[in-house]
Amino acid sequence: MKRKLLISALVVPFLAFSQSNKDAAKINKTTTYSKVAVESESSIASTDKPADSTVKTPAVQPNSDKKRGVISYDFVKIGSTYYDLQTNASIGRRMMLLPDGTISAVWTTSNDAAYSNRGTGYNHYDGTNWLSVANPTVRIENLRLGWPSIGLNNGKEWVMAHDAAIGGFVKSSNQSIGSTSWTVGSSILSQNQRRPIWGRVVNSGNYFHCVASYSDSSQAGDPRAPRINGVLAPMTYSRSKDGGQTWDKEHILLPGYDTSKVNDGGGDNYAIDIRDSIVAIVTGGLAENVLMWKSTDNGDNFTMYIVDTFPFAPYKSNKLIPRTNCSDGSLDVLIDKKGNAHVFWGVTSVLEDDTATAGYNFFPATSQLGYWNEYRKTSEVIAGGLQFDRDGTDSLEFSPGCWNALDANGQVPAALKNTNVFSVARLGNTSLLHAPSASLDDNGNIFVSFSMPLEQDFDDNNVNRRDIYMVHSIDTGKTWSAPQDVTQWQGSEEEFACLSKQSNGFVHMIFQRDDNAGTNLQNNSTADNNHPTGVNDIMYAAIPVSKILNNEIGLLQSVSVNDLNAAKEVFVVSQNYPNPFNSNTEVMIWLNANSNITVEITDINGKVVSTQSFGEMNAGNHILNLDSNGLSAGIYFYTVSTGAYSVTRKMSIN
Per-residue pLDDT reduced to its tens digit, 421-437? 999 999 999 999 999 99
Could you read off the pLDDT of 187-228 as tens digits, one per residue? 999 999 999 999 999 999 999 999 999 998 888 888 899 999
Q: DSSP label at 375?
A: T
What one-character-per-residue DSSP string does 203-269 give?
Answer: EETTEEEEEEEE----STTPPPPPEETTEES--EEEEESSTTSS-SEEEEPPTT-STTT-SB--TT-
Could you read off the pLDDT of 302-329 as tens digits, one per residue? 999 999 999 998 887 777 888 999 999 9
pLDDT at 52: 27
CA separation for the pair 570, 553 (Å, rounded): 15
Residue % of the chain over a pLDDT of 90? 61
AA letter at 280: A
Model confidence band, residue 60 (pLDDT cutoffs 50, 70, 90): very low
Q: What is the mean pLDDT of residues 143-168?
A: 97
Give the residue from 325, 403, 328 showing the smallest Cα distance to 25: 325
Residue 322 near residue 349 (C-beta atoms within 8 A): no
pLDDT at 70: 67
pLDDT at residue 76 tops 80: yes
AA letter at 375: Y
pLDDT at 617: 85
For 299, how many CA atoms within 13 A lie in the half-sphere containing its CB? 26
Give the residue from 239, 160, 247, 241 showing the smallest Cα distance to 205: 241
pLDDT at residue 62 tops 60: no
- Please classify residue 373 by burial: count the beta carbons closer than 10 Å to its beta carbon, then call 0-12 exposed, 13-18 middle and 19+ buried: buried
pLDDT at residue 265 tops 70: yes
Q: What is the mean pLDDT of residues 441-449?
A: 96
Model confidence band, residue 637 (pLDDT cutoffs 50, 70, 90): confident
615: which strand partners?
Answer: 597
| CB atoms inside a 10 Å sphere around CB 527 | 10
Measured CA distances, 157 to 107, 150, 153 (Å):
15, 7, 6
AA letter at 464: N
Residue 624 near residue 586 (C-beta atoms within 8 A): yes
pLDDT at 22: 23
Residue 498 CB contacts under 8 Å (≥ 6 apart), including other chains: 91, 92, 93, 94, 95, 105, 437, 449, 509, 510, 511
Lowest mean pLDDT among 29-43, 49-63, 138-152, 492-506: 49-63
Identify the helix (H) or strand (E) that includes residue 414. Answer: helix 414-417
The radius of gyration of the chain's CA atoms, rounded to the nearest angstrom, is 24
Could you read off the pLDDT of 578-635 as tens digits, one per residue? 888 888 898 877 776 778 889 989 887 788 999 989 988 887 678 888 888 889 999 8
Phi and psi, residue 565, nearest 5°: -105, 50
AA letter at 217: S
Model confidence band, residue 555 (pLDDT cutoffs 50, 70, 90): low
CA separation for the pair 408, 54 (Å, rounded): 8
pTM of the model as a whole: 0.79
Phi and psi, residue 520, nearest 5°: -65, -40
272: which strand partners?
Answer: 281
CA separation for the pair 260, 310 (Å, rounded): 12
Give the residue from 531, 430, 409, 525 showing the smallest Cα distance to 82: 531
pLDDT at 489: 84
pLDDT at residue 459 tops 70: yes
pLDDT at 394: 81
| CB atoms inside a 10 Å sphere around CB 511 | 32
Q: What is the mean pLDDT of residues 121-137?
A: 78
Model confidence band, residue 467 (pLDDT cutoffs 50, 70, 90): very high
Q: What is the mean pLDDT of residues 475-499?
A: 93
Measured CA distances, 360 to 56, 354, 619 (Å):
15, 8, 57
472: which strand partners?
Answer: 447
473: which strand partners?
Answer: 446
Residue 510 near residue 539 (C-beta atoms within 8 A): yes
How confident is the prediction for the chain on average, in pLDDT? 84
Give the residue from 588, 592, 586 showing the smallest Cα distance to 620: 592
Model confidence band, residue 69 (pLDDT cutoffs 50, 70, 90): low
Model confidence band, residue 552 (pLDDT cutoffs 50, 70, 90): confident
